[in-house]
Structure 1
Amino acid sequence: MPPSSGRNLPSHQEPVVGATVQYVVDTLTMQIMGGDYGLDERLPSERQMAQDLAVARNTVREALDLLEGRGLIRRRAGSGSFVTYDPKGQSEALAPVAAETGPLQLQVVRGILEPEMVRLAIINMPPRAIEALGETLSQMEAVQTEAADFVRLEEEFHRQIAAGTGNPLLIACYNLVIDARRQSFRAAMYRRHLTPNRIATYQRGYNALFNAIAARDIEEATEFMKLTLIEDQKLLMQEL
């Protein structure tokens, strides 16, 4: 074994952060990736974000450090924090993969990711993130007939669960899954099958899923994800 130089080697791993910092990171990540803040747009001041998120300013500062390390923002002394995440560049890079992914291939990947995703989210989601998930659920439950609105909110619900894992790589992978789900075959499938009665059925199911997440019931939540995949598979087989 070579002798030690006595110096610590640099580490590329992020430090372990507290639940409140993770909540701020997850919230800002969703806002940036969801398009609330565009490329080169300035984020609100640390004071404003601390007020909006009901956290301390040093918590916001620590979260911004992590986002800068992930390449989502850059910070300019005296000017603030600016978004560097380019959704157009990301979409152009990932679009061929999503376009080339067939419906059965998509189902396989969802079967791998979604049950584990909800398990990790239950372990890692702070209470504020669960509250935000509940707000999205309330919007989903208000939809009665508009399939497009329901699909959009369903995507946001799943995106929040992905963000709740606190795993940037898993979040990026699931964004690609969402891109693949938006392909024409699935859009057409929803137009034909997402009737008001089916929307109501899904709303009851997502209510049960949210309750399981809020109760930190991993078994119940993962079982729901598996059953949802089976139902989607049945619809898909009617189309093929």
Structure 2
Amino acid sequence: MAKTELLVQRIRQIIASDGYVHNDRLPPEREMCSMLGVTRNQLRSALTKLESRGLIWRHVGRGTFVGERPVLNLEDVTYLRDQVTPPQVATVRLAIEPELARLAALHSAHADREELRTCAERCREVPDWRSYEAWDNKFHFAVARSAKNKLFLYYFETLNVVRRSMVWSQPRTTPKPAKNYSSFLEHDLIVQAIEKNDGDGAAQLMREHLHSVYGRILPSLGKTAAPRTD
């Protein structure tokens, strides 16, 4: 295997093992060169190959990001971030993500469901909260992608970039999630519903999961969670 291709594989391993998800920014080139023990030219050759395969995208002056180049206008995202509030973000998530879970139950492929299961498992294995947040974000993105609806995915990506650019007040009293952290089981139940092609169940479970999450951050939203009807 050529040196450039070996370097491509090493970068892909770093992206996977460190929990990078779609649109996450990779370390600066100088830092990556030091990390990988390569020259700037060698690194750029590998990044060019990764970009041609849709695995990363680069923006001059901003950096290198994971995944395909988004359709999003980053200036619009910055504008939205400055105009909306955390409760508004949570309200839109509650409107969009349950429907994405329902569609994922109807349209996801075997590989999509394997990725969902992997993300849910990796959430349990994390060493710290930052890693958990990365894998949790990857889980929700995998649900959105599994819905197989490009327009819905565009709206989800816009929402997700705005959400991740905001500062959320969520105090952490432990170095990582406890073994009985409620989101672990909630993720599992969502995956199980998707695997059973239970669209309505997946939507309801996603809604309950989001209410649980925001019940810790925005209690006024958490209290409005609808009970199960089945």
Coarse TM-score class (shorter-chain normalised):
0.5 to 0.7
Taking only the aligned residue pairs, the percentage that are identical comes to: 19
- Confirm whether residue 124 of structure 1 aligns to residue 107 of structure 2: yes
Aligned CA distance change for structure 1 residues 38 and 166 (closer, same or farther; 3 Å): farther
Q: Which residue of 2 aligns with 1:189?
A: 170
Q: In structure 2, what is the Cα distance between the partners aligned to 1:155 and 1:193?
A: 20
Mapped to 2, the partners of 1:220 and 1:198 lie a distance apart of: 25
- What CA distance in whole angstroms lies between the structure 2 residues aligned with 1:224 and 1:86? 31
Partner residue of 1:151? Answer: 133
Contact 1:136 1:156 in 2 (8 A): yes
The answer to which of 224-233 and 32-41 deviates more is 32-41
TM-score by length of 2: 0.62
1:1-240 matches, within 5 Å, as 41-43=51-53, 86-87=69-70, 90-143=73-126, 146-186=128-168, 188-189=169-170, 191=172, 196-197=177-178, 200-237=181-218
Equivalent-residue separation in structure 1 for 2:75 and 2:88 (angstroms)? 21
Gaps of 5+ in 1: 1-30, 45-71, 73-84
Query: Which structure has the greater CA radius of gyration?
Result: 1
Kept in 1, the 8 Å contact 2:107–2:146? The answer is yes
- Residue by residue, what CA displacement relative to the aligned partner does 1:94-130 show, whole Å, maximum 9, x if unpaired? 2221332201111111111011111111111111211
Residue of structure 2 in register with 1:27 after alignment: none
CA offset at residue 91 of structure 1?
2.6
Displacement of 1:184 in angstroms is: 4.0
Q: Which residue of 2 aligns with 1:7?
A: none
RMSD (Å), alpha carbons: 3.8
Rounded to whole Å, the distance in 2 between the matches of 1:108 and 1:239 is 11
Which deviates more, 203-212 or 32-41? 32-41
> Is contact 1:98-1:177 (8 Å) kept?
no
Paired residue secondary structure (1:185) = coil
After superposition, what is the alpha-carbon deviation per residue over 1:202-238, rounded to whole angstroms, capped at 9, x for unaligned? 1122112111111112232212111122223322335
- Structure 1 residues 89 and 163: CA distance shift in structure 2, 3 A: closer
Distance 1:131 1:207, change over 3 A: same
Asked if the contact 2:193/2:199 (under 8 Å) is kept, the reply is: yes
Alignment: residue pair count: 173
Task: Tell me if the contact between 2:116 and 2:139 (Cα under 8 Å) persists in the aligned partners.
Answer: yes
8 Å CA contact 2:101–2:203 kept in 1: the answer is: yes
TM-score (norm 1): 0.59
Alpha-carbon distance change, 222 to 39 in structure 1, aligned in 2, over 3 angstroms: farther
Q: Which amino acid is the alignment partner of residue 53 of structure 2? A: L
